[in-house]
Amino acid sequence: MSADPDRTGLPGRQQDKGGVTLREVARAANVSMITVSRAINNPQQVSAITLEKVNAAVQALGYVPNLMAGGLRSSRSYLVMALVPTITGSLFSGMLEALTASLEAKGYQLMVGQIGYEQAHEKSREDALLRAIIGRRPDGIVLTGIMHSAQGRQLLKSSGIPVVETWDSTPTPIDMLLSLSHDAIGRAVCDYLHDAGKSRCAILSGDDERAQRRAEGYRRRARELGLPEPLVHPVPAPTTHADGRAGLRAVLARDPSIQAVFCTSDMMAIGVITEAVAQGLSLPGQLAVMGFGDMDIAASMTPSLTTVRVDGAAIGATAADMIATRANGHVPAQAVVDIGFSIVKRDSA
Total residue count of the chain as it appears in this document? 349
Answer yes or no whether residue 330 interacts with DNA by CB under 7 A: no
We find the least distance from the C-beta atom of residue 82 to its own copies, in angstroms, to be 9
Answer yes or no whether residue 32 interacts with DNA by CB under 7 A: yes
Q: What is the CA radius of gyration of the chain?
A: 26
Neighbour count for residue 181 (Cβ, 10 Å) = 18
- Binding window for DNA (CB under 7 A); candidates: 45-53, 188-196, 304-312, 332-340: 45-53
Q: Decide if 15 contacts 4 (C-beta within 8 A).
A: yes
Which of its own copies, DNA, none does 38 bind, CB closer than 5 to 8 A by kind?
Answer: DNA
Which of DNA, its own copies, none does 46 bind, CB closer than 5 to 8 A by kind?
Answer: DNA
Q: 7 or 345: whose CB is closer to DNA?
A: 7
Which of its own copies, DNA, none does 348 bind, CB closer than 5 to 8 A by kind?
Answer: none
d(CA 78, CA 69): 12
d(CA 347, CA 302): 8
We find the least distance from the C-beta atom of residue 78 to its own copies, in angstroms, to be 8
Answer yes or no whether residue 34 interacts with DNA by CB under 7 A: yes
Answer yes or no whether residue 66 interacts with DNA by CB under 7 A: yes
Q: Residue 78: left if φ>0, alpha if ψ -120 to 50, beta else—which one?
A: left
Alpha carbon separation from 175 to 147, 179, 336 (Å, rounded): 11, 12, 9
Q: Decide if 343 contacts 189 (C-beta within 8 A).
A: yes
Answer yes or no whether residue 56 interacts with DNA by CB under 7 A: no
Which of DNA, its own copies, none does 225 bind, CB closer than 5 to 8 A by kind?
Answer: none
Interior angle at CA 228, CA 222 and CA 229, nearest 5: 70
Answer yes or no whether residue 248 interacts with DNA by CB under 7 A: no
In which order are the strands placed within the sheet that holds 140-144? Answer: 109-114, 79-84, 140-144, 163-166, 176-179, 336-338
We find the least distance from the C-beta atom of residue 153 to its own copies, in angstroms, to be 9
Q: How many residues bind DNA (CB under 7 A)?
A: 28
Which of its own copies, DNA, none does 304 bind, CB closer than 5 to 8 A by kind?
Answer: none
Which of its own copies, DNA, none does 33 bind, CB closer than 5 to 8 A by kind?
Answer: DNA
User: CA dihedral defined by 347, 226, 252, 198, rounded to 10 degrees?
Assistant: -20
We find the least distance from the C-beta atom of residue 77 to its own copies, in angstroms, to be 7
Site of interaction with DNA (CB under 7 A): 17-18, 21-23, 31-35, 37-38, 40-41, 45-47, 49-50, 63, 65-66, 69-70, 72-74, 76
